[in-house]
Amino acid sequence: MAGVAITGSLVGDRHDVYSDVDLILVIDDEAYDAVMRERLALVGSWASLVAGFTGEHVGEPRVIITLVGPPLLHVDFKFVRASDFAERTEDPEILWDRDGLLSGVLVQ
């Protein structure tokens, strides 16, 4: 994994009690296909997964929409290739950046 970022209402303090957590998991290009095959199992190994499904129905197959807990929390995990991180609709907040790739993209 190259990095983790957060986006959505939690960035910029726009959240409320109904907000979900939107995480972007930036995956090294060469590992991306393998990670995509195992992403639901990976999420289940990171959190107490109550339910999870892919986001094709909302036009985003890279997303795993989950309910984790307790306490129950809606978390969307978006898996993106490192080479695709620059393509975004808003600037995320970087939580972890292994080699500075994410930070480098955001300053461009």
Residue 104 falls inside a structural domain: no
Residue 76 belongs to domain with CATH number: 3.30.460.10
Q: Strands, DSSP E only, in 1-108?
A: 3-7, 21-27, 49-55, 60-68, 73-81, 93-97
- Cβ within 8 Å of residue 84, ≥6 positions away: none
Which pLDDT does position 108 carry in this prediction? 67
* Beta-bridge mates of residue 48: none
Q: Give me the number of domains the chain comprises.
A: 1
Residue 105 falls inside a structural domain: no
Residue range of the domain that includes 20: 3-98
Counting as low any pLDDT under 70, the low residues of the chain are 108
Residue 67 falls inside a structural domain: yes
How far apart CA 35 and CA 30 sit, in angstroms, is 10
Residue 70 falls inside a structural domain: yes
Residue 108 falls inside a structural domain: no
Residue 107 falls inside a structural domain: no
